[in-house]
């Protein structure tokens, strides 16, 4: 079948046809149905000459009624190559005519509709072996895909349109036969079977997974061996935890190298804080300039715990500056967080250019910095090392402040004073430039990741402003996205909550609320997390395998329901749900939660060992089983101060329950004493004698 798929794809792309004319770009005024949408990405295409439609029942019915193939074009607001294909193809009248005459064309914002993106991305990966955005899939009138790819040049796209429309007109049965085979492949991919063997989680399996992981670790530069580098923060978070629990010094060193190279590299915005999406080189030097909320949220959590472990001030600074960026650029008035900032912005001539907002010429820097320019140039490598292109530079550090100060005969204090002044001065200049587009829609799951980022930063750095922001966002989700029937909505824009939530929304919000409970002791958040997991069990779970579908049982107009199993740039919904159920099973002494979490992990453990980079969050869950997992209950009037003291230690294999008064939580029930504050440490229901001193408690867990 694979050979057949490849042959068909090559036939579509390479078969001879009339050479398309290279039309000149025209100025035009046109409005299509996307003008009624709220997604910034869809609105970007509302004035294309293509008669774009949104994904909805009416559009899908129209395709069937007119017996037309469907073009499903998926992207997102900050996607550079999405903009390129729009300019080259979707703004072109001749391309638009082909699309309008022979197809029903649907634009999809992958951030709003990850369920649609998931299905057609899977199809493209089966057809071509890879995927990405823009994602362009051509489907039968009933939505079953027959062709797909990512970015196409204008000529290739026109060729595809002609070939596919001709095929469907002259030989529709062949197209349907291919669609049947492809759908079967989509349904079989990532198919999970119930593992009926006794669960076997061991340190030996963790070590085997790590050994497989080490084959692709870049020990020189950090990250994975690849031509481009993605941060993958939660996979690094797992390795940080593993290195601490198992005293693996080489892995801790690898994590530190990665964190320092990212924080000092061009992928990090030295002036404004925050991380770009990825680096286009192996050394983290040159970024792809879009900034995503979900990346920065997870990076905050990662660097916060890394600081707790090492007390490296670079990590603390990275957390604080990234949160300053989030507050300045991605925060809304109700406590919501926005989705992303584009890679492209306008130059002096009004043309969109990638990275234009962030890069600097030597002339600009000399003009601003005057006598400090030479020192700045050395500090940030304004040389071949930091060259982006055409005398344009990004800022990269290669030395610590201490070493640089020593090598340049300046005190560390004086150097850091200068650096702060440089940043303030250049940031002021930069903010006067044409700003990149901001996607100001709010995604529930990503907001939950950022909420957890603020909670983790507060837990480690103890800045009360972080907790205030976290609580504001938590209440925003509670007020606007949580519906009366217990369901969540996925998106929020212009005061309107919309789109039925996906498994990732329930998973991430529950995870964030559990973390929020652990710093506030407000059981409302823990109970809400439980309610969200109960809703997920009722509406998302496959009762046979115990795994969870990405869409609820009320989802409509999809050709299949998929399960998100593998961890990617964000941990999968299934692995996060499993971890939530593990925690809630302990909090509420709920054996159904506990057994479900264990079964889910058992189902995928063999895959996790063989392909650890794609199952890092599952491996993190397995660490809860392969070492002692501590339940710590703090009860008494000094619970808050004891809790803060406990949070100064990095103990990842721990669950904390605490209260300053009587509590009905099973871990705290009947343990309150008005005159004393006791700390109970339990493992699998067996508890040691209560303690009153945190240092004593910590010593017993190490």
| CATH number of the CATH domain containing 603 | 1.50.10.20
Residues 484 and 579 in one domain: yes
pLDDT on residue 577: 98
Residues shown for the chain: 702
Inter-residue contact 503 to 549 (CB < 8 Å): yes
Same domain, 304 and 182: no
pLDDT of residue 433: 92
Q: What is the pLDDT of residues 310-347, one digit of tens each?
A: 999 999 999 999 999 999 999 999 999 999 999 888 88
3-state secondary structure of 101: helix
Q: How far is CA 452 from CA 237, 281, 309, 448, 679, in A?
A: 14, 30, 18, 6, 25
Q: Are 13 and 100 within one domain?
A: yes
Res 16 pLDDT > 60? no
Confidence of residue 27 (pLDDT cuts 50, 70, 90): low
Residues 451 and 543 in one domain: yes
Tell me if 316 sits within 8 A of 306, measured CB to CB. Answer: no
Cα separation of 669 and 98, whole Å? 69
3-state secondary structure at position 389: strand
DSSP-H helix ranges across 265-312:
293-310
Q: How many domains in the chain?
A: 4
Helical residues (DSSP H) of 286-411, grouped into ranges: 293-310, 313-329, 362-369, 373-379, 401-407
- Is pLDDT above 70 for 28? no
Which letter does DSSP use for residue 559 in this model? Answer: S
pLDDT at 347: 81
Q: Are residues 332 and 408 in the same domain?
A: no
Same domain, 526 and 653: no
pLDDT of residue 426: 97
- Whether 161 and 224 share a structural domain: no
Q: In whole angstroms, what is the distance from residue 691 CA to residue 689 CA?
A: 7
The string of pLDDT tens digits covering residues 51-60 is 999 999 999 9
Q: What is the DSSP string of 658-674?
A: EESS---STTTTT--BT
Helix ranges, 588-658 (H): 591-610, 616-626, 639-646
Residues 91 and 39 in one domain: yes
CB atoms within 10 A of CB 156: 16
Domain end position, chosen among 157, 188, 219: 188
The residues that bridge with 633 in the sheet, in sequence order, are 657, 680
In a domain, 196, yes or no: no
Q: What count of other Cβ atoms lies within 10 Å of the Cβ of residue 491?
A: 23
Same domain, 650 and 502: no
Residue 702 pLDDT: 72
Residue 178: pLDDT over 60? yes
* Residue 8 placed within a domain: yes
For position 7, which CATH number holds?
A: 3.40.30.10
Q: What is the mean pLDDT of the chain?
A: 91
* Range 466-474 contact pairs with CB under 8 angstroms and sequence separation of 24 or more: 466/323, 467/519, 467/520, 469/327, 469/331, 469/335, 470/516, 471/516, 471/520, 472/334, 472/335, 473/335, 473/336, 473/337, 473/447, 474/512, 474/513, 474/516, 474/525
Q: Within a domain: residue 276?
A: no
Q: Is residue 271 part of a domain?
A: no
Instruction: Write out pLDDT tens, residues 124-175.
Output: 888 888 788 899 999 999 999 888 888 999 999 999 999 999 999 998 988 8
* 89 CB-contact burial (10 Å; exposed 0-12 / middle 13-18 / buried 19+): buried
Q: Which range is least confidently modeled, 177-186, 290-299, 502-511? A: 177-186
409 within 8 A of 276, measured Cβ to Cβ: no
The tens digit of pLDDT for each residue in 519-544 reads: 999 999 999 999 999 999 999 999 99
Q: What is the DSSP letter of 217?
A: B
pLDDT given at position 17: 32
Q: 504 or 25: whose pLDDT is higher?
A: 504
Pairing of strands 69-75, 103-109: parallel
Residue 18 has pLDDT above 80, yes or no: no
**Which of 54, 57, 33 lies closest to 112 in space, CA to CA?**
54
Nearest Cα to Cα of residue 590 among 533, 552, 535: 533
Q: Residue 332 domain-assigned? A: yes
Name 94's Cβ contacts closer than 8 Å, sequence gap at least 6: 20, 21, 23, 158
Q: Give the model's pLDDT for residue 440.
A: 95
List pLDDT tens digits, range 371-393.
999 999 999 999 988 898 888 99
What's the mean pLDDT in 429-451? 95
First vs last Cα of the chain: how many Å apart? 54
Q: How confident is the model at residue 14 (pLDDT cuts 50, 70, 90)?
A: very low
Dump pLDDT digits (tens) for 453-506: 999 999 999 999 999 999 999 999 999 999 999 999 999 999 999 999 999 999
Give residue 490's domain range: 203-228+294-308+326-336+440-626
Q: Say if 102 falls within a structural domain.
A: yes
User: Per-residue pLDDT tens for 265-283?
Assistant: 999 999 999 999 999 999 9
Q: Show which of 391, 416, 432 is a domain's final residue.
A: 432
CA 145 to chain centroid: 26
Q: Residue 26 has what pLDDT?
A: 44
Same domain, 97 and 47: yes
The reply to whether 461 falls in a domain is: yes
Confidence of residue 687 (pLDDT cuts 50, 70, 90): confident
Q: Three-class SS of residue 361?
A: coil
Rounded-to-integer distance, Cα 501 and Cα 539, Å: 11
Q: Do the bridges between strand 678-683 and strand 686-687 make them parallel or antiparallel, or are there none, so unpaired?
A: antiparallel
Q: Which two tokens stand for residue 77?
A: 């607001």
Residue with tokens 């204090």: 413
Q: Tell me: do 409 and 489 sit in the same domain.
A: no
pLDDT at 312: 97
The answer on pLDDT for 20 being more than 50 is no
- Band (pLDDT 50/70/90 cuts) for residue 190 is low
- Residue 1: is its pLDDT beyond 60? no
Task: Kindly state the helix (H) or strand (E) to which residue 471 belongs, with its residue range.
Answer: helix 464-476
Q: Is residue 416 part of a domain?
A: yes
pLDDT of residue 3 exceeding 60: no
Query: So what's the pLDDT on residue 685?
Result: 75
Instruction: Name the pairing type of β-strands 654-659 and 630-635.
Output: parallel
Domain limit, last residue, from 432, 459, 494: 432
Are residues 215 and 139 part of one domain?
Answer: no
**Cα 513 from Cα 533, distance rounded (Å):** 12
Each residue of 652-662: pLDDT tens digit?
999 999 999 99
């Amino acid at each position: 079948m694979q050979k057949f798929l490849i042959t068909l794809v090559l036939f579509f792309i390479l078969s001879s046809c009339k050479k398309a004319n290279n039309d000149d770009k025209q100025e035009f005024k046109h409005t299509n149905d996307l003008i009624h949408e709220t997604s910034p990405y869809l609105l970007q295409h509302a004035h294309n000459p293509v008669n774009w439609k949104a994904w909805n029942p009416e559009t899908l019915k129209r395709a069937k009624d007119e017996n037309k193939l469907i073009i499903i074009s998926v992207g997102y607001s900050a996607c550079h190559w999405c903009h390129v294909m729009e300019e080259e193809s979707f703004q072109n009248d001749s391309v638009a005519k082909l699309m309008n005459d022979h197809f029903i064309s649907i634009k999809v914002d992958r951030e709003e509709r990850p369920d649609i993106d998931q299905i057609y991305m899977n199809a493209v990966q089966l057809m071509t072996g890879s995927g990405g955005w823009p994602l362009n899939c051509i489907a039968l009138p009933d939505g079953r895909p027959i062709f797909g790819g990512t970015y196409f040049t204008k000529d290739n796209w026109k060729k595809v349109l002609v070939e596919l429309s001709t095929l469907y007109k002259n030989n529709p049965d062949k197209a349907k036969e291919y669609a049947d085979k492809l759908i079967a492949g989509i349904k079989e991919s990532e198919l999970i079977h119930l593992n009926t063997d006794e669960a076997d989680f061991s340190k030996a399996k963790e070590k085997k997974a790590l050994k497989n992981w080490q084959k692709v670790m870049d020990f020189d530069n950090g990250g994975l061996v690849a031509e481009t580098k993605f941060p993958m923060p939660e996979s690094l978070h797992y390795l940080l935890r593993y290195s601490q629990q198992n005293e693996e010094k080489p892995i801790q060193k690898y994590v530190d190298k990665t964190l320092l190279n990212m924080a000092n590299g061009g992928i990090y915005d030295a002036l404004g804080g925050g991380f770009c999406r990825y680096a286009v080189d192996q050394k983290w030097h040159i970024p792809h300039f879009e900034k995503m909320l979900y990346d920065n949220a997870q990076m905050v959590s990662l660097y916060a715990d890394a600081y707790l472990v090492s007390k490296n001030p670079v990590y603390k600074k990275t957390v604080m500056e990234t949160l300053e960026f989030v507050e300045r650029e991605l925060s809304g008035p109700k406590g919501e967080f926005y989705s992303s900032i584009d890679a492209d912005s306008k130059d002096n001539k009004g043309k969109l250019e990638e990275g234009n907002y962030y890069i600097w010429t030597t002339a600009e820097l000399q003009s601003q910095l005057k006598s400090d320019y030479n020192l700045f140039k050395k500090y940030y490598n304004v040389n071949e090392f930091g060259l982006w292109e055409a005398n344009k530079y990004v800022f990269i550090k290669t030395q610590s402040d201490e070493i640089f100060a020593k090598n340049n005969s300046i005190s560390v204090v004086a150097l850091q004073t200068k650096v702060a002044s440089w940043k303030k001065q250049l940031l002021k200049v930069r903010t006067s430039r044409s700003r990149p587009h901001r996607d100001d829609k709010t995604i529930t799951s990503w907001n939950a990741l950022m909420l957890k980022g603020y909670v983790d930063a507060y837990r480690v750095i103890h800045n009360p402003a972080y907790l205030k922001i976290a609580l504001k966002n938590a209440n925003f989700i509670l007020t606007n996205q949580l519906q009366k029937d217990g369901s969540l909505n996925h998106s929020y824009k212009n005061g309107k909550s919309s789109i039925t939530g996906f498994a990732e929304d329930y998973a991430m919000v529950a995870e964030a609320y559990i973390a929020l409970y652990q710093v506030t002791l407000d059981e409302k958040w823990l109970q809400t997390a439980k309610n969200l997991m109960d809703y997920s069990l009722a509406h998302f779970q496959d009762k046979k395998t115990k795994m969870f579908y990405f869409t609820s049982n009320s989802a409509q107009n999809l050709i299949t329901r998929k399960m998100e199993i593998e961890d990617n740039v964000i941990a999968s919904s299934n692995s996060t749900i499993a971890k939530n159920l593990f925690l809630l099973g302990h909090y509420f002494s709920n054996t159904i939660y506990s057994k479900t979490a264990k079964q889910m992990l058992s189902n995928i453990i063999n895959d996790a060992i063989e392909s650890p980079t794609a199952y890092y969050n599952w491996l993190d869950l397995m660490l809860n089983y392969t070492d002692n997992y501590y339940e710590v209950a703090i009860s008494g009037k000094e619970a808050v101060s004891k809790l803060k003291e406990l949070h100064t230690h990095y103990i990842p294999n721990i669950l904390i329950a605490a209260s300053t008064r009587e509590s009905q939580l099973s871990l705290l029930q009947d343990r309150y004493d008005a005159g004393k504050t006791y700390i109970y440490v339990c493992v699998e229901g067996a508890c040691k004698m209560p303690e009153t001193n945190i240092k004593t408690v910590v010593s017993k867990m190490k």
